[in-house]
Amino acid sequence: MMDKEFFEIANRLGACRLLHGTENKEELMRLLLTPQGTEFCTKNNFPSMEQLREFRGKKAESMGIYIETDVKLTNPVKVFLAGSKAILHFDTIGRYNVILMHGAEAEIHASNYAVVFVKNAGGKVITHKDHTARVL
């Protein structure tokens, strides 16, 4: 379970509808990737980079969460980047989500009718796309 301070800060910021205070790291990571969790976190710049470091590792990466790491990915359905540098290729028809926080950088290559939604909260995005792809 995460420390009490984490939940206190989240509740002060208005996350009471999202959190019960008993979530473990894996449950919190999953919540981070939901539309409501993403909206809350990017709007409130929460969790801090220090708190996000608690999530760092193979489990987080298997869920699409990359914290302070360099990564190259092809067609990730949803990817959350915090303090990371990523080269992302989207080359199949589909809807994809990229979330950037805490100075993350993403170079997005989109083609072949891919639609990439970017939620940028303090990051840097460079896009390369063909005439069929959309980066929103």
14-33 pLDDT per residue, tens: 665 666 666 777 888 888 89
Domain ranges of the chain: 4-135
**Can you give the pLDDT at residue 17?**
65
Mean pLDDT of the chain: 89
Helix ranges (H only) for 1-136 are: 4-12, 25-32, 35-44, 49-52, 58-62
What's the Rg (C-alpha) of the chain? 15
H or E segment and range at residue 108 = strand 105-110
Distance CA(122)–CA(22), nearest Å, equals 29
Confidence band, pLDDT 50/70/90 cuts, at residue 53? very high
Distance CA(82)–CA(84), nearest Å, equals 5
- If DSSP codes are grouped into helix, strand and coil, which group holds residue 100? strand
**Can you give the pLDDT at residue 27?**
84
**Can you give the pLDDT at residue 1?**
45
To the question of pTM greater than 0.75 for the whole model, the response is: yes
